[in-house]
Amino acid sequence: MKVCIFGAGAVGGSIATRLLAAGADDVSVVARGAQLEAMRSRGLVLRSGGTEVKAAVPVATDDPSTLPPQDLVLVTLKAHAVPGAAAAIARLLAPGGSVVFMLNGIQWWWRHGRPGPGGTLPLLDPDGALWREVRPERTIGCVIYCPCELVEPGVISHVGSNHFILGEPDGSSSARVEEAVAMLRRGGIDGRASNDLRRDIWGKLVSNASGNTIAALTRLDLGALAADPDLCGQMVSVMEEVLAVAAALGWDLRGQMDLPAIARRGTWGQRPSMLQDVLHGRPIEVEALFGQVHAFAHEAGVPVPTMDAILPLLRGLGQSLRTR
């Protein structure tokens, strides 16, 4: 299978390293800047569980148009960067090829295959480029459980779980999802198929929308947040509101999670992706992790006072990072 990793930062770099080291598929990588130069000169190194996985990267480029048509494109960009890459992603696909969007939070294809109004989500796909050029019917969704950090160009640190949940936007079973899962497993990655990926997305958003955002605003890692009762209380309030929105939209996960325990389980030194971006002066995933949930809440008439207070602060932080 021809597989392209589109955006080989922390998560994408970890996937690329494992797939290239396994050598079971024809893998190419799209990256840029210092990360691209490191891959070309030294390859990739993944530090995980006290071991190192190393891999040469024979095909790495910042110009996707130089690559042949791909059976599978794994998009591991940050959500706000994806719409600008829509045309390049679409051109990479072979006839019958698919795109796996390995993104955090709510995804742009959310309304595909669902009752009610269709079409893209403007907060996540402002000009409709993803809906129009990539198209939801060529898309596979994904929920990521793979905490990674790019410690230097070409070197990724991974701690904790290493599984990816894949599913069709319309909730069906399909051969292409099973083939994508099998490809990940050939690389030593725990791929899993789901028939209700939106439920899985909500399940992760409970902790992501709270821990990521409050860590970004405070610049504290998850261990420091867990040790502060007031900040834990804020995290629990966000979790409760996310669960209320999910229930209003048809996925009731309330009562299935110990929210205070989730807020307290962070470990010292564990920096979620949004905090990593803030510390490096990079734009943050405000809308996918928080803004779209807030929009759903207002559409459904669900009160979310904590999110009402936090969202303007996150958007202000995001604006300051973009204008640096």
Residue pLDDT, tens place only, 184-219: 999 999 999 999 999 999 999 999 999 999 999 999
Q: What pLDDT band is residue 117 in, cutting at 50, 70 and 90?
A: confident
For residue 17, what pLDDT is reported?
Answer: 97
Q: Respond yes or no: is residue 78 known to be catalytic.
A: no
pLDDT tens column, 295-304: 999 999 999 9
Quote the DSSP letter at residue 134: I
pTM of the complete model = 0.94
Residue 154: is its pLDDT beyond 90? yes
- Once rounded to an integer, what is the mean pLDDT over residues 168-191? 95
For residue 113, what pLDDT is reported?
Answer: 86
CB contact at 8 A, 82 and 108: yes
Domains, the chain, ranges and CATH?
Answer: 2-195 (3.40.50.720), 199-322 (1.10.1040.10)
Residue 279: is its pLDDT beyond 90? yes
What percentage of the chain carries pLDDT values higher than 70? 100
For residue 114, what pLDDT is reported?
Answer: 86
Q: What pLDDT band is residue 115 in, cutting at 50, 70 and 90?
A: confident
- Pick the catalytic residue from 2, 54, 78, 204: 204
- Give the pairing of strands 44-48 and 51-55: antiparallel
Tally Cβ neighbours within 10 Å of residue 177.
24
Tally Cβ neighbours within 10 Å of residue 233.
12
pLDDT tens column, 65-110: 999 999 999 999 999 999 999 999 999 999 999 999 999 999 999 9
- Give the pairing of strands 70-75 and 2-6: parallel
For residue 307, CA distances in Å to 210, 214, 230, 291, 293 come to: 10, 11, 16, 9, 9
- For residue 140, list its beta bridge partners: 100
Rounded-to-integer distance, Cα 46 and Cα 154, Å:
8
Residue 263: is its pLDDT beyond 80? yes
Q: Considering only CA atoms, give the Rg of the chain.
A: 19
For residue 267, what pLDDT is reported?
Answer: 84
Burial of 281: CB neighbours in 10 Å, binned 0-12, 13-18, 19+? exposed
For residue 160, what pLDDT is reported?
Answer: 85
All residues at 6 or more sequence positions from 280 whose CB lies less than 8 Å from its CB, including other chains: none
CB contact at 8 A, 288 and 318: no
For residue 204, what pLDDT is reported?
Answer: 95
Residue 324: is its pLDDT beyond 80? no
Residue 323: is its pLDDT beyond 90? no
Minimal CA–CA distance to 277: which of 210, 323, 212? 212
For residue 118, what pLDDT is reported?
Answer: 83
Q: What's the mean pLDDT when you consider all of the chain?
A: 95
**The dihedral sign for the CA sequence 43, 285, 227, 262:** negative
Q: What pLDDT band is residue 269 in, cutting at 50, 70 and 90?
A: confident
Rounded-to-integer distance, Cα 239 and Cα 219, Å:
19
pLDDT tens column, 6-28: 999 999 999 999 999 999 999 99
Helix (H, G, I), strand (E, B) or coil at 44: strand
Minimal CA–CA distance to 108: which of 145, 88, 80? 80
Residue 41: is its pLDDT beyond 90? yes
